[in-house]
Amino acid sequence: MTTSLKVIACMLALVVLVSVQSAVAQSKNVAPSKRATQAKPVTQGIQGVWKVTEFSTSISNASRITTTAQPGIFIFTKKNYSIMFISSDKPRPEVPLQKPTNDQKIAAWEPFSANSGTYEIKGTILTTHPVVAKNPAVMKPGAFVTYDFIIQGNTLLLTPKESNTVPGGAPPTFKLVRLE
């Protein structure tokens, strides 16, 4: 009986060894499971902090590409966003703390844009709904901006489609890089 138990134990060990070797060999050639190949929901891809690296504007039929963008940050959470950027290729002038002139205030504040609110994504369309903004016209009830968007690695491209919030022109086109 002892001999037959030893034979059975050896046969089981051999079966386990062959099974393990077969599983290892197959794992090198097996296609990923459906779960592994499913894309992340697009909203997860856009969530994070993005730095503006380039933008273009078109106001009064004039276009400008800026590759040396001034500071700008876009933050997307699960349902909300916050945007702040300088729409200029030069640093803003400082405003004196004591008795600044209207021209000095305008020169510093005009190229600064800021708004925050909620957003939604449908396919490759991002629609923002500002709740608070530097410009009161941007946060009016029913305000929105829609963008076509593409995420390529750590780069986010936002191309404006439609807006009812931008006085005097179309929203800028942005190229952003992920910070986190």
More confident site: 26 or 59: 59
The predicted-structure confidence for 53-103, as pLDDT tens digits, reads as follows 988 766 555 556 666 678 899 999 999 999 999 988 788 999 999 999 999
The DSSP string of 139-164 is GSTT--EEEEEEEETTEEEEEEEEES
Using only the alpha carbons of the chain, give its radius of gyration. Answer: 28
Q: Does domain 42-178 have CATH number 2.40.128.280?
A: yes
Long-range contacts of 121-127 (CB under 8 A, 24+ apart): 121/42, 121/43, 121/46, 121/149, 123/42, 124/42, 124/148, 124/149, 124/150, 125/149, 125/161, 126/46, 126/158
Distance, CA of 157 to CA of 52 (rounded, Å): 10
Contact (Cβ atoms closer than 8 angstroms) between residue 104 and residue 129: no
* Domain parsing of the chain, residue ranges: 2-32, 42-178
Contact (Cβ atoms closer than 8 angstroms) between residue 111 and residue 95: no
| pTM as predicted | 0.70
> Residue 48: which pLDDT band, with cuts at 50, 70 and 90?
very high
Amino acid identity at 56: S
CA distances from 165 to 100, 136, 160 (A): 29, 9, 12
pLDDT value for 4: 42
